[in-house]
Structure 1
């Protein structure tokens, strides 16, 4: 894509559903650029709370299999997740070329509130998303309510919390802008 300004990139960014992402492989260099730009997100006290776990190819298939196994076991124990949601989630992992687990590392010294760490990770994800958009890629941040069940297979450390998966891939077709309503009611000048 060829954009003339950051404003154009921001307005071109879309939440592209996994079913609209081609399974075509994304180069390691592009993924590394997304991650490098993520690291430039602002964060208080420079705790750099973002942690990303990258899954492609066989590791992504293993992740999908492990998640399916855990979700089916939890369903059998009475955990409230519909079979269709399990199938959709696992299917999405299998469809996309890249799945990035988004993890926040909470400052164990508690120098700042948890929400600031989550906000910093969110800004890091936005940096990845804008970079993907600039490169003509689609992306989607999936936040199913059952991600806390994956702590063990993601090998999370003390103070880490899963915030979802960031899917990236080439887009099958252009997605129209959903637009935005007039923001005047949301703004108060003083």
Structure 2
């Protein structure tokens, strides 16, 4: 049976730029419900080939200090503004959830399917945050791909970051962006 409310939500869901997110963010109970929703994704073999890392409170600043230290080590001439940007990376929204792909070699489940499941979990979390009335955005930045940052982020050896979902209250209504025309992204093979 068609659910018009869900269809309308999916047709209008938008990410909110991280600089437009503010307090308050979700509390623990709300976030746990969002993470439960995020976990309901296609998962061939029931492997749960992903996990979540919640960055809240002072932990966001601690990670930011570690990121700034990496940048300063790489570029001793980095400006104070650049280092401040790195320190604030995970502090721009009240809550940030890292989605980590734990995909591994499996005799029956291709690694690619496991990686896509982590992407689906990231999107479900984004949609869940929006459904709860929060603004959210799914980002990766340099530190999602730089293994030197992994210890500070809590990412283990062999894991990959699918992204960081920043969640908070929208400061303003999100803007609509151009979407692709179906003719540009759909190939029909056969007739309906």
1:107 to 104, 107, 128: 104
1:116 to 104, 113, 116: 113
Distance in 2 of aligned mates of 1:134 and 1:110: 37
1:137 equivalent to 2:147? Answer no
TM-score of the superposed pair, with normalisation by structure 2? 0.83
Question: Secondary structure of 1:94's match?
Answer: coil
Question: Secondary structure of 2:30's match?
Answer: helix
Distance in 2 of aligned mates of 1:110 and 1:144: 32
TM-score of the superposed pair, with normalisation by structure 1? 0.84
Aligned residue in 2 for 1:49: 49
Question: Secondary structure of 2:142's match?
Answer: coil
Distance in 2 of aligned mates of 1:85 and 1:12: 35
Contact kept, 8 Å, 1:19 with 1:92, in 2: the verdict is: no
Mean CA deviation greater in 92-101 or 173-182 = 173-182
Aligned residue in 2 for 1:164: 163
What are structure 2's unaligned runs of at least 5 residues?
none
Cα distance, 1:89 vs structure 2: 4.4
- Size of the aligned set, in residue pairs, is 185
Change (3 A) 1:135 1:73: same
Question: Secondary structure of 1:93's match?
Answer: coil
Greater relative contact order structure (CA < 8 Å, 6+ sep) = 1
Question: Secondary structure of 1:99's match?
Answer: strand
Contact kept, 8 Å, 2:100 with 2:162, in 1: the verdict is: yes
- Cα deviation, 1:74-130, whole Å, max 9, x if unaligned, reads 334x9xx99866543432422210011121002244643332222101111111111
- Cα deviation, 1:44-78, whole Å, max 9, x if unaligned, reads 111111111101111122122222222322334x9
